[in-house]
Amino acid sequence: MSIVRRLEPIHLKSLRDHVHDTLREAIISGRFRTDEKLNERQLAAELGISTTPLKEALRQLETEGLVRTEARRGSYVTFNARQAEEMMLARAALESVMAQQAARHATDAQIALMKTHIEQMRAALQEADIARLIELNEYFHDTIHDASSCEYLRRLQNGQRMYDHAARVTVLADETERVRSFAEHEAIMLAIAERNEDEAERLMREHVMLAGEKHLITVFSYTPAEKRK
């Protein structure tokens, strides 16, 4: 059906992307205070680069919503509990749409791959191999993104990848969560395999919301205003 790819194309990452990733990771893992000022020259000096790639990275962080820039004033970190909650809401919204699209567009090969992931997760769950579980978790979601054929949505989602990873690490540390998470993943896979778009969407939404709320409570001791009915 499709030609086997012998070699992956080479992608060099530019200095800008490197800076972008580095800053993003630092902000999300809390190494910058909220509203901390980011001095272009000082940061560039710290990183040992010129201001040009740094400025570009700041612009990317800005559109991602992690940095706010006031003209001729400076750039400031923007990250707090409310923002983390919004990132969870955004993730729930986007992932659920992609799950719905995956139920519509997935190839049989992609569905088979998801089934494989589920089986590997079942094994990792029993062995309590958390690192492996996190890895499989990300493969599973990636496969769904792939299957959705949603390039644009994926890119939007991508800005949150670091945050999603942090959330997974937190949530999967807890045994009860691991068991529930696995059951949810299996249900999502089955809904996609059955081409049940609405069910896939609903389940994914529920899955992300539950994991997200757990993460918020654990890390920020933050409970969303009130539970939805």
Partner DNA sequence: AGTTGAAATTTGATATATCAAGCTGTGAAA
Partner DNA sequence: TTTCACAGCTTGATATATCAAATTTCAACT
Q: Three-class SS of residue 19?
A: helix
The reply to whether 202 sits near a second copy by the rule CB under 8 A is no
* Contact status: 87 vs a second copy (CB under 8 A): yes
Minimum distance of a second copy from residue 102's CB (angstroms): 12
Distances (CA, A) of 90 to 96, 127, 142: 10, 32, 17
Orientation angle between helical segments 175-193 and 81-105, nearest 10 degrees: 30
Q: Applying CB under 7 A, which part among 49-57, 120-128, 138-146, 166-174 lies near DNA?
A: 49-57
* Residue 226 within binding range of a second copy, rule CB under 8 A: yes
Number of residues in contact with a second copy, rule: CB under 8 A?
A: 48
Segment interacting with DNA, rule: CB under 7 A, options 37-45, 99-107, 108-116, 118-126: 37-45
Residue 41: name the closest of 77, 3, 74, 87 by CA.
74
10 backbone dihedrals φ, ψ, rounded to 5°:
-85, 135
CA 184, 185, 186, 187 dihedral sign is positive
Between 25 and 40, CB nearer to DNA: 40
Which CB sits closer to DNA, 64 or 85? 64
> Which residues make Cβ contacts (< 8 Å) with residue 66, sequence separation at least 6?
23, 24, 27, 28, 77, 78, 79
Residues that bind a second copy (CB under 8 A): 11-14, 16-17, 52, 55-57, 59-60, 62-65, 71-72, 78, 82-83, 86-87, 89-90, 92-94, 96-97, 100-101, 104-105, 149-153, 155-156, 159, 197-198, 225-226, 228-229
